[in-house]
Amino acid sequence: MSAETIYAISALLGYFVGSIPFGLILTRMAGYGDIRKIGSGNIGATNVLRTGNKGLALLTVLCDAFKAGIAAFVAGHIFAGENGVTASLVAGAFGVLGHNFPVWLKFKGGKGVASTFGFILMTCWPVALIALAIWLIMAFTFKYSSLSALTASALVPFVSYFLAPSIEYTYVYTAIVILVIVRHHANIKRLLKGEESKIKLKKEEKSE
């Protein structure tokens, strides 16, 4: 099997696994209806938290992280060998793309923070843990989920340059980080205007 075929299969695997909209599925199963009609309208865990159900938000984070991570893990093991690392990175990256642009939801998905974390955790866990530590510090200090995600994401390429096994990881992580930042363009505007919502642990009375 050629390297091109391996990477194409890895990309398809990652995309279709990553495009499973767990936030939407879980909130509907829990009786909250369509999460896209709540808060920001996003299908990610931050918006799920706006239902007031912290357990459901945590489960969404885990599922969203798991799908990109498992895609990377499976591809890396199926195609173990000289192409294994690249196959794993391709599958994980496309898992994040699937979350952001799921075919089932007319390509309107989440922002890829949890999926990016799961992908990096599965492919280079030291980088992921440092990113998580940065996110937690920022979240507890400033109470902005978006600012925490942006800060942690922006530092990933620099951390991976020193800790990842090869420069290939840094290239792929950088591409995904750019996507995460672009997907947060509306949040960045609100942060600059001082209008961004802070992290809340109870159900909102009204949609934003």
Q: To the nearest 5 percent, what fractions of the chain are helix, strand and coil?
A: 75, 0, 25
Please tell me the number of Cα atoms within 13 Å of 192 on its side-chain side. Answer: 6
- Residue ranges of the domains in the chain? 3-193
Residue 176 near residue 25, CB atoms below 8 Å: no
Contact assessment for residue 179 and residue 100, using Cβ atoms and an 8 Å cutoff: yes
Which residues make Cβ contacts (< 8 Å) with residue 100, sequence separation at least 6?
109, 110, 111, 112, 115, 179, 183
pLDDT < 50 regions, the chain: 204-208
Looking at residue 201, its pLDDT comes to 59
Predicted pLDDT at 50: 82
Token pair 């890895």: residue: 10
Return the closest-CA partner of residue 68 out of 198, 176, 187. 176
Q: So what's the pLDDT on residue 202?
A: 56
Rounded to whole angstroms, what are the CA distances from 24 to 54, 61, 199, 201?
15, 12, 20, 19
